[in-house]
Amino acid sequence: MTAGSTHVTVLLEEAVESLAVKTDGVYMDATFGRGGHSRRILAALGEKGRLVAVDRDPYAIAAGAAIDDSRFQLVHRAFGEIGEAAAEAGVRDVDGILFDVGVSSPQIDDGERGFSFRYDAPLDMRMDTTQGETAAEWLARAEIRDITEVIRNYGEERFAFQIAKKVVAARLEQPIVTTGQFAAIVREAVRTREPGQDPATRSFQALRIHINQELRQLEVALPQALELLKPGGRLVVISFHSLEDRIVKTFMRAQSTADDLPKGLPLRADQLPKPKLRLLGKPFKPSAAEVAANPRARSAVMRVAEKL
């Protein structure tokens, strides 16, 4: 890992407080990372409590080996497979589930992972390095249309088409296999830049989201989490990107309102579908002090709901 890289857990106290941890409860940390939230949950649990953590990154799994606690189990899976992870751990009903989605600081700061344009390294970008296609492999085969859609939809980049054309032209001369190559191509295509932001920022984000299917993972994970929760169980989700937060907001709002049935149906009040979630408070953001201490926290948004 690149020297000096550390992971500062965002909204640590606020997230665990929102879980309302019961000493004998069963909880899931769907995004273990480097274990900041997990360690805090374990500190709040009693002897009979249990925590199942999930992560698809082998480096996170290796870091989790440092937690020697009989109440703790770490499962190597993507959070989109939280249902399978729970079954693998022998857990059926849980009192709370925490998601802290997106890329982690160690993933960005380890240049060899290929997540950042700050280091010239292999263009990998896989969160789970044991399987799947690398970013370089995808760029080598994708058509202009596909590259354009990914960069436009996931990076909200207005020069997506120009970038895609340059990628396809460049790979005819030599394979695009490093972060430095891809960043240089993007910078050449982006005609104007936002103050203080590298022109490659949006494209790197888009490619990472696509390679790891991050938004799709979130879409399939939330319904599974709802099924796993006991009545009164808490769902806490921290997101760092507007596209992620939109998925969370849409899901929680849909599950916290009764189904929209056609008017005039001959149903009694007790026959009407009941909402499955109750929203708790407004979306929560890090304090100015936390952002000052950890600038990567600035875009974080936490939403909390309780199962009815």
Contact 99, 236 (CB under 8 A): yes
CATH value at residue 130: 1.10.150.170
Using a 10 angstrom Cβ sphere, with 0-12 exposed, 13-18 middle and 19 or more buried, the burial of residue 248 is buried
The answer to whether residues 99 and 129 belong to one domain is no
**CATH code for the domain of 250:** 3.40.50.150
Domain-located, residue 7: no
SS3 73: strand
pLDDT greater than 60 at residue 26? yes
143-164 in b/e burial notation, b at 16+ Cβ within 10 A?
eeeebbbbbbebbebebbbbbb
Position 2 confidence tier, pLDDT thresholds 50, 70, 90: very low
Q: Which residues are annotated as a binding site?
A: 35-37, 55, 79, 100, 107
| Residue 128 and residue 67 in one domain | no
Rounded average pLDDT over 60-89: 98
Same domain, 17 and 62: yes
CA–CA separation, 12 vs 236, rounded Å?
A: 12
Query: pLDDT tens, 100-151?
Result: 998 877 888 787 898 899 889 999 999 999 999 999 999 999 999 999 999 9
Residue 111 counted as domain residue: no
Annotated binding site for S-adenosyl-L-methionine: 35-37, 55, 79, 100, 107
Q: What whole-number distance in Å separates Cα of residue 218 and Cα of residue 101?
A: 8
Please give the share of the chain, as a percent, with pLDDT higher than 70. Answer: 94
Q: Are 302 and 225 in contact (CB under 8 A)?
A: no
Counting DSSP H helices and E strands in the chain, the numbers are: 13, 7
Q: In this structure, are 164 and 127 located in the same domain?
A: yes
Quick one: pLDDT at residue 186?
A: 98
Question: pLDDT by residue (tens digit) across 153-210?
Answer: 999 999 999 999 999 999 999 999 999 999 999 999 998 888 889 999 999 999 999 9
Residues 273, 151: Cα–Cα separation, whole Å:
40
Q: Please tell me the total count of domains within the chain.
A: 2
Instruction: Pull the structure tokens for residue 251.
Output: 């899901």
Which residues, including other chains, have CB under 8 Å from residue 292's CB and lie 6 or more apart? Answer: none
How confident is the model over 46-56, as a mean pLDDT?
Answer: 98
User: In this structure, which amino acid lies at residue 189?
Assistant: A
| Residue 225, pLDDT above cutoff 60 | yes
Q: Which residue segment(s) compose the domain that 204 sits in?
A: 117-212
